[in-house]
Amino acid sequence: MLKKQVLKITIDFKELLMSEFVQSEALINQLDKKSLVSKQELLKEMKRVQVSMMKSQ
């Protein structure tokens, strides 16, 4: 019974990650397509945020 619960949690986690990935990719593509923000600018900002989050931990 516990194995089924762990498997369900794992599947739900994978689905959540995939959903987040798809949403992020779609948003990034639209921002880039409309020339609001380039992919390079987004990558730079993502790195900045990641460093900032790591420092605060």
> Which of 35, 33, 22, 2 lies closest to 10 in space, CA to CA?
2
Q: Give residue-wise pLDDT tens across range 18-54.
A: 999 999 999 999 999 999 999 999 999 999 999 999 9
Q: What is the pLDDT of residue 7?
A: 72
Top pLDDT among 22 and 11 is at 22
Q: What is the band of 2 on the pLDDT scale with cuts at 50, 70, 90?
A: low
Q: What is the pLDDT of residue 4?
A: 72
Longest dimension (CA), the chain: 51
Q: What is the pLDDT of residue 1?
A: 62
pTM check: above 0.75: no
Domain extents in the chain: 2-56
